[in-house]
Structure 1
């Protein structure tokens, strides 16, 4: 069954920007462009008539067609092309008719397609039209007349301004840039999503990172059309593939939902080496991944600048913080600088992937597509809300993550904060500390409480990126309450429930968890003020108990 088309009928004098608007609607929204010039040529060929590629000849032929068909030749030509088209109409089902020049042409189209016709009229002062016409040269592919004045002497052309009064929307292209014209046209066509459509779910770490966000994101990913990640290569999210894999820049659901678009937002910092390797290892096709042109590139100088932080505050030393600082100071860029700021748009290897995140998300929202935004690290590592200076170089909360992705708060449906039963911080390999934790414990004690062998805990509790041994502590109830409040949590995903009781690894349903685990979950719900909707029992593809009501 063919899609019922929506016709965008563009009118206006020569030089008003009709073809520019048509091209932008084709490029941005996948519209199918029908040029009335082509309809004229097809008509001439059908009747064995010669139609020179000249402005004057086209004007005269169009006028004769209007007389012969009562202006119906445009509607007839459009109908014929659509009947011949086997492929479905892409995007929003838009057919752009570029352009109409007379009242009866529009009327015949409205008679054929009714309310599915939107008539957009473009105009500009005659002096501006004259300047544009003089500058176009042979760009139109036609033999042009000597001046705009000569063009306007044509009877139909001189009357085209009268279409303004009957158009659905009129735009003065002298006072609007091409992007403004496109935006106003798209709004008139209803191509933007309603601002009441809440289509984004956000996944945020509630503690110091390593809460198991990768496992939860991997589980949820099949429900979404778009997967978005920000942050940098200092955050590793391990996912339960047959051979476990750690994502450092791509969304954790990239291989759990091969149909989803994947996006790296403008606030991300990128290691080219890590990114290109991850793209290759994950088998990501060029047309599936979009990297915002504003993403910051980490350079070797950034790695050198962070080397001292590894021992001082337990940093992973992957250069994200130094790159972020250069991005700020790079606004005062001096040509003599040894390390100029490079964004994704400046890197040749990334050119095939570079697409503005805003456009990708606008299209997704307009289609009602669901978006999963994956935060990195944890609330306790936020530059602003963590225990400074033992923090990361960015704000890791919901607000910061939304800002880095370029998503407005009005789009958010759910905020899932991920908390593990015993929070961890990476152990500093040197004498310094990686930051405070409430009531630090030993892995020996966790082994005694849970029944998990200590050697197993010590082996698996190493940083995904640093590979350093992790420190562990009692569950921090004050942190949970603060994380729930500051992130606007609607749900908690509680992970590592097997650390409460090894028997939880065998649980497939909520009631199969140990009684002390169920008591713990109920307390988490009281303190966080929101339900524990997802439970992680172990690291496995079937490790999540789903209690969601959404």
Structure 2
């Protein structure tokens, strides 16, 4: 029995999609559960030469033997869900996905209210997907739940019960968190944050798994750092410098250009501490160190890259077990057997 939670270490966009796809493909969990806010965050997945941008379906969908669960803490937009069912038809996602009946539902009204909040879109970086107003209505106890939506009737399941039954019977569960630690409503750069907590503790609660059943917390960091919208960014560099380093980026959901900065060690230490990280996955190493592109052995990394990785381990006290050196799943260095 193993329960693992994957968390974004900073402001999101850390490459969680690839990490989840790789880990689920290798470890083959029985359940892959989606935690986090809702469809306001996108995960990019590249698999067999095709690229997918997901907002609700767990990124580990490529592991076709797993049940895909959406936990009670996640906001659901049924239009987004059904579109992803169609987009991922060849993977049988529709037949494997289950929504907790206690999920709150995003409506057209939520989306319209979100888009009218120009200060949120410009300053905080809201994607206009209705998550903030829906979470607000949930707190006010006025939101509609998944169990109240007839179109979702065939996809409802008690996610907490199903997940705990699998764990109690010796199975494996992988929980995918959305966004990133520094966007947490509690621990992030308030008010430039998302509309709920985004730490490992809350992701476990989103799915209905108690803390004593969590075995691994994998914190994902990029070799550099990015964020969308305004707010503090101590290590930010100019767009010109980002272009010169070939590390400019654009958002999955919005297409907006992201702000770019250098790796923030202080943020990494805080993120690992509050999330209770047991492992670190480091992505986009090839973007920062092009000479390491597609390297699949730690021994083949440059001395400069190894020094960077060793510094992260030393400062955070957490082993770097997964190193991504390219967009393909095979461009991964997996050190779990050596370090755990």
TM band (smaller chain): over 0.9
Q: Would you say the 8 A contact 1:230–1:249 is kept in 2?
A: no
Secondary structure of 1:253's match? helix
Residues 1:233 and 2:11 aligned together: no
Q: Does 1:320 align with 2:127?
A: no
Contact 2:61 2:93 in 1 (8 A): no
Q: 3-state DSSP class of the match of 2:50?
A: coil
Report the counterpart of residue 9 of structure 2 in structure 1: 206
Is residue 71 of structure 2 the alignment partner of residue 260 of structure 1? no
Q: Among 135, 158, 182, which residue is 1:356 paired with?
A: 158
**Is the 8 Å Cα contact of residues 216 and 544 (structure 1) preserved in structure 2?**
no
Question: Following superposition of structure 1 onto structure 2, how do residues 13-412 of structure 1 map, counting pairs within 5 Å?
Answer: 199-222=2-25, 223=27, 224-231=29-36, 232-241=38-47, 242-255=49-62, 257-283=63-89, 284=92, 286-307=94-115, 308=117, 309-330=120-141, 333=142, 341-412=143-214
2:282 is paired with a residue of what secondary structure? strand
RCO higher in structure (CA 8 A, sep ≥6) = 2
Query: Can you give the 5+ residue segments of structure 1 that lack an aligned partner in the other structure?
Result: 1-197, 334-340, 429-433
Counterpart-to-counterpart distance in 2, 1:305 and 1:389: 18
**Per-residue deviation, 1:363:** 2.3
Q: Which residue of 1 aligns with 2:327?
A: 539
For residue 327 of structure 1, give the secondary structure of its aligned residue in structure 2: helix
- The question of whether the paired residues in 1 share the 8 Å contact of 2:56 and 2:76 is answered with yes
Write the distance in 2 (CA, Å) between the matches of 1:243 and 1:436. 35
1:525, 1:249 → 2: CA distance?
Answer: 32
Q: 1:541: how far off? A: 2.3
Aligned residues of 1:286 and 1:352 also touching (Cα < 8 A): no
Structure 1 stretches of 4+ with a deviation exceeding 6 A read none
SS at match of 2:175: strand
Is 1:439 aligned with 2:241? no
Q: 1:494-531 CA distances to partner (integer Å, 9 max, x unpaired)?
A: 11101321111131111111211100000000111011
Cα pair 1:302 1:319 within 8 Å, conserved? yes
Whether the 8 Å contact between 1:293 and 1:344 is mirrored in structure 2 is yes
Distance 1:243 1:286 in 2: 19
CA change 1:522–1:321 in 2 (3 A) is same
What secondary structure does 1:321 align onto? helix
Q: Deviations over 1:15-64 (max 9, x none)?
A: xxxxxxxxxxxxxxxxxxxxxxxxxxxxxxxxxxxxxxxxxxxxxxxxxx
Bigger Rg over Cα:
1
Q: Deviations over 1:430-452 (max 9, x none)?
A: xxxx2111121134424545xx4
Question: C-alpha distance in 1, partners of 2:285/2:94?
Answer: 39
Task: Return the alpha-carbon distance in structure 1 between the equivalents of residues 99 and 189 of structure 2.
Answer: 32
* Number of equivalent positions: 329
C-alpha offsets along residues 354-392 of structure 1, whole Å, 9 cap, x if unaligned? 011122113212321110101111000000001111000
Name the residue aligned to 1:518.
306
Structure 2: which 5+ runs fail to align? none
Q: 1:503 aligns with which of 265, 287, 291?
A: 291
Instruction: Give the C-alpha shift of residue 540 in structure 1.
Output: 1.4
TM-score, normalization: structure 2? 0.93
RMSD: 1.4
Does 2:264 match 1:476? yes
SS of residue matched to 2:32: strand
Instruction: Find the counterpart in structure 1 of residue 254 from structure 2.
Output: 466
The whole-number CA distance in structure 1 between the counterparts of 2:183 and 2:145 is: 25
Contact 1:207/1:381 (8 A) holds in 2: yes
The corresponding residue for 1:79 is none
Instruction: State the 1:286 CA deviation.
Output: 4.9
The Cα shift of 1:251 comes to 0.7
